[in-house]
Amino acid sequence: MNQNPHWKQLIWNWASIIFGNALYSLTVALFLEPADLITGGATGIALAIGRLTGLSVSGLLLFINLAMLVWGWVVLGRAFALNTLASSVLSPAFLALFEGMANGRVLTEDIFLCTVFAGLGIGVSLGIVIRSGASTGGLDIPPLVLNKWFKLPVSATMLAFDIMVLLMQAVFSPMPQVLYGIVMVLIHTVVMDKMLMMGASRTEVKIISSQSDAICAAILEQLDRGVTILHGEGGYTHESSAVLLSIVSNRELPRLEKLAHSIDPTCFLIVSHVTEVSGRGFSMDKDYL
Under the banding of pLDDT at 50, 70 and 90, the label for residue 95 is very high
C-alpha dihedral, 5 to 10 to 14 to 16, nearest 10°: 40
Note the pLDDT of residue 251.
Answer: 72
Report field, pTM of the whole predicted structure over 0.85: no
- The DSSP bridge pattern shows strands 200-208 and 240-248 to be antiparallel
Under the banding of pLDDT at 50, 70 and 90, the label for residue 201 is low
Is residue 258 predicted with pLDDT exceeding 70? yes
Between 238 and 261, name the one with better pLDDT.
Answer: 261
Is residue 285 predicted with pLDDT exceeding 60? no
Consecutive H or E run containing 206: strand 200-208
Averaged confidence pLDDT in the chain = 85
- Asked if 37 contacts 115 with a C-beta cutoff of 8 angstroms, the reply is yes
- Asked if 45 contacts 63 with a C-beta cutoff of 8 angstroms, the reply is no
Under the banding of pLDDT at 50, 70 and 90, the label for residue 286 is very low
Could you report the per-residue pLDDT of 73-87, keeping only the tens digit for each? Answer: 898 888 778 778 888
Sign (positive/negative) of CA torsion 159, 160, 165, 169? Answer: positive
Each domain of the chain, given as residue ranges in start order, spans 6-197, 202-274
Angle, to 10 degrees, between the axis of helix 78-102 and the axis of helix 57-76?
Answer: 180
Phi then psi for residue 232, to 5 deg, are: -110, 170
Options 3.40.50.880, 3.60.150.10, 2.60.40.10, 3.30.70.120; CATH for 202-274 is 3.30.70.120
Note the pLDDT of residue 44.
Answer: 92
Could you report the per-residue pLDDT of 33-56, keeping only the tens digit for each? Answer: 999 898 989 999 999 999 889 999
